[in-house]
Amino acid sequence: TTPKEIRIESRTYKTDEWYNTPSSILDAIPRRLHLQPDHPLTITRKLIESRFPSHKTHNNLFPVVTTLQNFDSLGFPLDHVGRNRTDTYYVNKETVLRTHTSAHQADTFRNNESEGYLISADVYRRDAIDRSHYPVFHQMEGARTWDRQQAGRDGKSVAQVIWEDVAKLPKHDIAVEDPNPPFHIERNPLQSRHAPEEAEAIAAHLKRSLEDMVVTIFNTARGAANTAIPDEPLKVRWVEAYFPFTSPSWELEVFWQGDWLEVLGCGVVSQPILDTATVPERVGWAFGIGLERIAMLLYSIPDIRLFWSKDTRFLSQFSESKPIKRFVPFSKYPACLKDVSFWLRSSSSAAGGASSIHPPGTSSAATPPSSHAQSQYSAQPVIEKSGTHAGSPTKLSAATPTPTPRSTGTATLSTSTSPSASIAEGASENPIPPAAPVPAQAIFHENDVMEIAREVCGDVVEDVRLTDEFVHPKTGRKSMCYRINYRSLERTLTNEETNAMHERLRTLLVVRLGVELR
């Protein structure tokens, strides 16, 4: 029952066999929470914007983008898990709901309106369901570039110009751990077109700017009465990272209630992206930060569904003109836990198993589950690299917040070349879109269970977790058991309505996924 075409606001799109976007997701598009007056996401956005006064802001970019914008222009390899239909909402083969604000990097660099920009927007990812994951969330992208030729005309090297700008940044006095060298030949390479002193200057400007931002955020919150922020000195650290569109790359982590939490991803912009954007003379940095994550920390908001609430008991607690105050939860309604167990179709592979896309002509190699959407863009390609994430923190990045590490494993990639190398040569034109991957086979993926739960229950589902899985020793069939936590944020559910939802969920699992209930 896929519609032939769909309308999103005033635009019409043809759908095809890639279409997988439920109407509940489309309904979220007009909400634009990051623009709603006095919404905690708006307040968080403005707080960050205030630290980048010279950056041009873009807060109304349309969420439907091409796979060229979302993936290809950023150097994502064809078999990157982020492209899977199990992870991304497709309208058709070439059109997706943006999965990150980086989708607008190339276009914004191409417009070249200012040295720096900030993009805040709603982003969309199929993912697990729990109190810190919602399939729509908000990111802010920031970037700053310098022109090598302009520096030359001023009789300086671009590194010199950048260091002069570093000296103008506000100073802070927090403890910063930054144990790694500015770049590392294997783990975090310098780009071939950057001199070491250029990358070092860019990295210094990037790190000082972002440290200033987090210090400001936390001090603003701390300054208020009844604050959610403990009265201890802030501790932050830089960790090496990987993104297909920056190199070297880092994540910034904040020590929060006994754990290192990753709050943003960033790095030196890949030169081929600036080539694509027709500004090959420019060099610079970019970062991406998840707004829900920061807002949840600032206000102690316990459940990500609350951001979507229209209940005045939530909305009335936030004001742009008043200091940040800890959110006072309204009463917690009872949870109702219900299990559903089923056998997978014998042709289906393991849960969260095989990736649903593969380049034509190659076999679809099974990929571990990527249930952690936020890790998908920072997943290292599988090359002989030593792990840089020893003692890995809770993964948050530019994505949805995650207070507790999840059990379902991380995504790995099967690309073999470094992304910048793969599009580096002579790419001063738009990269030619690679042959598109083929759509999914009917393979079981946990995110499909999540999607059905969302469709049946809306925001009444708090959590869905895998509680048991085993393979039958004789038949080789796989059994899965999921536990659904039904709980409204706004009222007590009746037994009848919970039972009805659970029945509908069971039926849809059979109809859509072809599983056999146990």
| Chain contacts with ligand PHE (rule: CB under 6 A) | 100, 102, 141, 243, 246, 265-267, 286-288, 377-378, 397-399
How far from chain centre, in Å, is Cα 163?
A: 31
DSSP 270-320: PHHHHHHTT-TTEEEEEEEEEHHHHHHHHHT---GGGGG---HHHHTT--T
The least CB distance from residue 174 to ligand PHE, in Å, is: 22
Nearer to ligand PHE, 91 or 119 (CB): 119
Contact 154, 161 (CB under 8 A): yes
Contact 260, 402 (CB under 8 A): no
Nearer to ligand PHE, 142 or 437 (CB): 142
The least CB distance from residue 399 to ligand PHE, in Å, is: 6
Largest CA distance in the chain: 77
Nearer to ligand PHE, 15 or 70 (CB): 70
Distance CA(62)–CA(8), nearest Å, equals 10
What's the token pair of residue 317? 């607690």
How many residues comprise the chain? 518
The least CB distance from residue 123 to ligand PHE, in Å, is: 7
| Start-to-end Cα distance in the chain | 27
The least CB distance from residue 319 to ligand PHE, in Å, is: 29
Phi, psi angles (nearest 5°) of residue 62: -70, 140
Nearer to ligand PHE, 239 or 351 (CB): 239
Burial of 289 (0-12, 13-18, 19+ CB in 10 A): buried
**What b/e readout covers 142-173, taking b as 16+ CB neighbours within 10 angstroms?**
bbbbbbbeebeeeeebbbebbbebbeeeeeee
Distance CA(352)–CA(372), nearest Å, equals 11
The least CB distance from residue 375 to ligand PHE, in Å, is: 8
Nearer to ligand PHE, 114 or 362 (CB): 114
The least CB distance from residue 259 to ligand PHE, in Å, is: 19
The least CB distance from residue 214 to ligand PHE, in Å, is: 15
Which residue number has the CB closest to ligand PHE?
288
Nearer to ligand PHE, 295 or 399 (CB): 399
What's the token pair of residue 414? 């099967």
Residues 6 or more apart whose CB falls under 8 angstroms from that of 265 comprise 241, 243, 249, 250, 251, 287, 288, 377, 378, 397, 398
What's the token pair of residue 426? 């002579």
Residue entry with tokens 């299990």: 339
Contact 335, 460 (CB under 8 A): no
Residue entry with tokens 């923190």: 393
Contact 208, 182 (CB under 8 A): no
The least CB distance from residue 339 to ligand PHE, in Å, is: 33
The least CB distance from residue 169 to ligand PHE, in Å, is: 19
Nearer to ligand PHE, 156 or 193 (CB): 193
Distance CA(411)–CA(355), nearest Å, equals 10
Distance CA(411)–CA(371), nearest Å, equals 8
Nearer to ligand PHE, 327 or 377 (CB): 377
Nearer to ligand PHE, 140 or 336 (CB): 140
The least CB distance from residue 267 to ligand PHE, in Å, is: 5
Nearer to ligand PHE, 79 or 262 (CB): 262
How far from chain centre, in Å, is Cα 221?
A: 24
CA dihedral 236, 237, 243, 245 (to 10 degrees): 70
The least CB distance from residue 241 to ligand PHE, in Å, is: 8
Residue entry with tokens 């005033």: 10
Nearer to ligand PHE, 19 or 134 (CB): 134
Nearer to ligand PHE, 142 or 353 (CB): 142
The least CB distance from residue 80 to ligand PHE, in Å, is: 12
The least CB distance from residue 102 to ligand PHE, in Å, is: 4
Nearer to ligand PHE, 218 or 287 (CB): 287
